Amino acid sequence: MRGALRASGLRSYWLRQYGCLRTLQARTAAEAHVAGTLNTLPLPYRAAYALTLRLLPAAFLLVSGRGLRTASAAEGRRGMQRLAALPGFGDVVRSSTALALLGALDGRSGQQPPAPHRGADR
């Protein structure tokens, strides 16, 4: 799944769209979370998701006239809006992006969350 994710060009898109993914630590955590979550899907779903990720650069080029990896932030947003009209692609981009952002958020801290204050449950 990591290969399909890398082939998709989404990592470069995320880098331009989401400031929280600009650090290496956040990007690594994001990619690990996306790949790890997608690897738990049943095989037919995983295969369809991987195929859609691999086709994403060609689909983006078709709808926007630009390559996903070289599109500016604004071009990327416009292209993704157009791409959402193609069956399956919008769902894959939205769900992958959500997983990436959650992975970056969870991966930021290697610590346990702080214990609640005494009396917080009252």
Establish if 34 belongs to a structural domain. Answer: yes
Q: What is the CA 38 to chain-centroid distance, rounded?
A: 11
Q: In 3D, which of 100, 114, 105, 77 has the Cα closest to residue 31?
A: 100
CB of 93 closer than 8 Å to CB of 56: yes
Range of the domain at 99: 2-108
Closest CA to 96 of 48, 23, 35, 45: 35
pLDDT confidence of residue 122: 47
Per residue in 76-121, pLDDT (tens digit) is 999 999 998 998 999 999 999 999 999 998 875 444 444 455 555 5
Q: Residue 107 has what pLDDT?
A: 74
Predicted confidence (pLDDT) per residue in 4-62, tens digit: 999 999 999 999 999 999 899 999 999 999 999 999 999 999 999 999 999 999 999 99
Phi, psi of 30 (to 5 degrees): -65, -50
57 belongs to a structural domain: yes
Domain membership of residue 117 (yes or no) is: no
Tell me, what's the pLDDT at 118? 58
- Whether 72 is in a domain gets the answer yes
How far apart are the C-alpha atoms of 42 and 39, rounded to whole Å?
Answer: 8
In a domain, 98, yes or no: yes
Q: How many structural domains is the chain composed of?
A: 1
